[in-house]
Amino acid sequence: MSDTLNIKPRSLFSEILILIKHRLSLSVVFSSVASYLIAFEVFSFYTLALLILGGFFVVGASNGFNQIIERNRDALMPRTQNRPLPTGGLSVNQAILVCVILSFLGLFILYIINFRTAFFGLVSMIIYLAIYTPLKPITPLSVFFGAIPGAIPFMLGWVAVTNKFSIETGILFMIQFFWQFPHFWAIGWVSHDDYLKGGFKMLPSGKRDNSTAFQIVFYTIWMILVSTLPYFSFTGELSIGLYSLILILASGLFMLFQAIRLMKYKDKQNAIKLMYTSIFYLSFIQIIFVADKFLS
């Protein structure tokens, strides 16, 4: 805990930003922006601004509530013990107040867009906080439930435009859903010792072993297959051209290569490479989907 005692004092605003994981929240909102840009027919800066602000508040509130629930476990792990609650930078009551305000503001802003956008925002919060978070110390199946709210942002922009759940939103959801498994398990592999200190069970087999590595490869393959579906005639208005298909396949195969290397060597170095590759993959294919709409 010496690191905790030696941190520099932070402003209240800085503590709140750390509580809501503002960088992560912004990266999650990027998925919603991408799907909005894929879906819109008549561009509305007003709707997009509401989507960004409402989505940021909802994701930030979820991250904050997660830290409130896990504050005692966070204090046990070196990578999280400098968060606002373990250090006392924020009190529990202050954190709850911030998260409640952000929750109501975020859901209200999404409701201004349409009911379904707010509904899916609320569903993501409930699953993340009421199912995923409590299951993390109990079973690795928590990652399955965590993948659901993690996948909702990539469909939320389409819902904001169309006010409906359709085959298009289903495909966008599935792409990010299957992506979550290799991404989360790569993180789990890298931070396995830390998670054990906190009492979390994140890897599917509970170990950095061949079983976990195989499942990473397995779900990476499913991710690639689902990501290519928009090239074929199964996904309604969501479609991509041949060049986009080639780029998505190439990036997917590169990620699969990294996953296979992890299965071969089972070391932290290759897990780190897979983690960063997965981040690149998701951002890259979202850019490809958007670019395809405007260039095709």
pLDDT digits (tens, 9 = 90+) for 128-147: 999 999 999 999 999 999 99
User: Is residue 8 in some structural domain?
Assistant: no
Helix axis angle for 167-190 and 142-151, nearest 10°, is 130
Please give the pLDDT value at position 1: 40
Which domain does 263 fall in, by range?
Answer: 166-296
From 165, 193, 208, the end of a domain falls on: 165
What is the number of structural domains in the chain? 2
CATH number for the domain spanning 81: value is: 1.10.357.140
Q: What is the per-residue DSSP string for 96-141?
A: HHHHHHHHHHHHHHHHHH-HHHHHHHHHHHHHIIIIIHHHTTT-TT
Global pTM value: 0.95
Residue 3 lies inside a defined structural domain of this protein: no
88-127 pLDDT tens trace: 999 999 999 999 999 999 999 999 999 999 999 999 999 9
**Alpha helices in 152-267, H assignment, sequence order:** 153-162, 167-190, 192-198, 210-228, 242-265
- Segment 177-186 mean pLDDT: 98
